[in-house]
Structure 1
């Protein structure tokens, strides 16, 4: 398996010399996706869903079962298509995806099975700002090994690791070009993790991108949106754009830097070099200052990962006027920045996720007012423009782990034939 779920928006599958082999790989994926989305299913029901003959599906199912991806449960449910047969479902003791997150104040790792269910997880408080990359990577590697061992005890087989980071990641690499809230620049975290975990294919991506993919795959929307802007936050403000079910990455992989969109061009200087950027009004530290708290005071009053956001939520819920005023201002700034994105892209939804979700009750009114005032399409003004993510702060971590699982669903043959998986440009992100 290639270990990556980072299919690009403009990539076209290269023709394979063996067309029959390419078709078989795609058909394996069709069958596996059908069971993942609708199972348990009989072989006849799978054939009806994917448009293949029962004989072809039976051969494909046998291969997926041998590889430990599907299991047969016994007689299928009444009402399924065709004569009664064994019901198929994803193997709950098969391949697993490992996801990791490097946060400014924490490290987290989880393992998910093929159905996306979290089967093992560990999170530790870790003050990573201005901490050297080497100790952070060493601590993360130890956490990954711990969670992988727990997953294996539960009968799972980790097949890849994806890492979410709060910074810009060069396309198709493990190089963090810039992570200002960590104080890192030009840091390649791949060699350290690969040395500690040599058997696991590695992917590194921006936390907002992975949060958006988690929303696409596991967000619980019915139906799942295919066009949306996903806004998330830790210390800074991140965003990702999904168009027609595919992540928009941009030429260099840096699309979605909403936090550095200027909302007031004559505003305060930003570390990025600009002035009046959104992060200067809606970033965690800016909101804390506007609430009358320093980051150190907030951390002392409410320690642990996410503690400062939790403190803001507690204060706002208790009626603290200064906290509520700060959050209204942050919501208005978010609305100004998002109005530009909505006018430019015309998405189906705007999804508020990450650490912003606990603050949504106090952010949304001013955010939606600004959107209603500034969005060009008058039909949108009477609609609720923003959806709150059900995944909350776990979005990037879940997106990381599920990106490994999606790679398996998109090309199950890649588990046995990694070289072929690199040639086989699957439908990752688009057909999730």
Structure 2
């Protein structure tokens, strides 16, 4: 039998270290014997891998395994470390900035959120504020015994595949903005390195000696969909379309458990699908786009809300009006659901997904959106039989931020040796 090349041996080791971590992450505290049985590896091999992960601070021993360890004395239960690496997630919204730190067990250990009118202040000032918030959360994480291993940033715009550049973000008014270099300038001592395909969906690795962790930048809808996939449990199918609303409409497609990105990384721009070609002009330059009928501003405008009112209170008031049965509020939400159904029908016909997931503000208003949305899908879906399952996100508006942080966490789980090399 040929002897594997050294590179192949390193890859096998990396893959098996990752498999052990995921086995513990997915099944909870497990003994070496339990992990070996699940993975189809020998106990000796798993024990060697576990010892390396314990030394690297990625696993911890918790005492005797409660069950499932087989006959004889129970093995020692292994769990993901609650200290050591954590993922930082950041979200740039039209009217807010948010940052959080998530440990390997998926728990949010530190977070902050501030109001920020990003469109009015421009990218330089906005990213300067974001850099300050990232530093604050990273400091809080370190105080809790955590070590930031990566930073994911969610943005409401098009991010060029394999880069950290926001090519276009109409609702922010940003064009060709390099998040990595801007954050490096905002954080003293940090350097942005060249694009690194291993850093995540699109990213830039931090330069040698940089004070900031490796960076990943992605569209907020993509990260929200990944959060649903990773955190949604058994309820989530392997094929689904995730659609969410804030100021605009974002969407992402997951096929066989993988995010569909497109050639340039721009797949999923459902919000700029024309539902009425002779409709109002959109910020993207088109007419009658879905955002003009189902985005937050569009729904509030159709409901008769004062456009000068702050976004949060206005949405709360709209939900209260709808719950009380007010006709104009119900009419606005019914119209938004109809527009969503028209736009999604084409996607359903093209991709045949197992589910459509409503996230963000759409999840909040799902009780009033779903009837007209489902009606449009029923009339416009070509394939016979049942429609895709219509699901409401359990993460709501938290999806993009959690997806950004978990992207950094999963980079550690995917490649433990790379994390160890950066320590």
| TM-score normalised by length of structure 1 | 0.88
Matches of 2:67 and 2:336 in 1, distance apart? Answer: 54
1:171 equivalent among 136, 139, 161: 161
Alignment correspondent of 2:62: 73
* Unaligned segments of structure 2, at least 5 residues: 191-210
Contact 2:171 2:283 in 1 (8 A): no
> Do residues 209 (structure 1) and 222 (structure 2) align?
yes
1:82/1:59 Cα in 2 relative to 1: closer, same or farther (>3 Å)? farther
- Which runs of structure 1 show a deviation greater than 6 angstroms over 4 or more consecutive aligned residues? none
Q: Give the distance between the partners of 2:121 and 2:6, measured in 1 at CA.
A: 48
- Which residue in 1 is equivalent to 2:207? none
Q: 1:271 offset after TM fit, Å? A: 2.4
The match for 1:399 among 377, 382, 403 is 403
Q: Which residue of 1 aligns with 2:272?
A: 260
Going from structure 1 to structure 2, the CA distance change for 1:17 and 1:249 (only over 3 Å counts) comes to farther
1:271 paired residue number: 283
1:184 aligned to 2:174? yes
Map residues 11-410 of structure 1 onto 2, 5 A cutoff. Answer: 18-81=7-70, 83=72, 84-195=74-185, 196=187, 197=190, 198-219=211-232, 221-296=233-308, 298-299=309-310, 306-381=312-387, 385-410=389-414
Distance in 2, matches of 1:333 and 1:416, equals: 49
After TM superposition, give the deviation of residue 293 of structure 1 in Å: 2.3
Is 1:71–1:89's contact at 8 Å kept on the other side of the alignment?
A: yes
Q: Does 1 or 2 have the higher relative contact order (CA < 8 Å, sep 6+)?
A: 1
Residue 203 of structure 2 corresponds to: none
TM-score normalised by L of structure 2: 0.90
Alpha-carbon shift at residue 227 of structure 1 (Å)? 0.3
How far does the alpha carbon of each residue in 1:273-312 deviate from its partner, in whole angstroms, 9 at most, with x for none? 222111111111111111112421x31xxx6xx4433232
Q: Distance in 2 between matches of 1:110 and 1:89?
A: 22
Q: Is the 8 A contact 1:368 1:385 kept in 2?
A: no
- 1:425 aligns with none
Contact 1:162 1:404 survives alignment (8 Å): yes
User: Does structure 2 retain, via aligned residues, the 8 Å contact 1:194–1:200?
Assistant: no
Whether the 8 Å CA contact 1:310–1:358 is kept in 2: the answer is no
Aligned to 1:411: 415
User: Is this contact kept in 1: 2:99–2:112, CA < 8 A?
Assistant: yes
CA distance in 1, matches of 2:228, 2:296: 22
* Range with greater deviation from structure 2 (165-174 or 249-258): 165-174
Shift of the alpha carbon at 1:319?
2.3
Q: How many residues are treated as equivalent by the alignment?
A: 396
**Structure 1 unaligned blocks of 5 or more:** 1-14, 419-432
Q: CA deviation at 1:17?
A: 6.0
Query: Residues 305 and 314 of structure 2 are in contact (CA less than 8 Å); yes or no, is this contact kept in structure 1?
Result: no
Cα deviation, residue 112, structure 1: 0.5
Deviations 1:153-196 (A, max 9, x none): 11111111000000011111111111111111111121121341
User: After the TM superposition, which of the residue ranges 166-175 and 189-198 deviates more from structure 2?
Assistant: 189-198
CA RMSD of aligned residues (A): 1.7
Residues 351-396 of structure 1, C-alpha deviations (whole Å, 9 max, x = no match): 0001211111111111111111111223115xx7310000000000
Report the secondary structure of 2:276's partner residue: coil
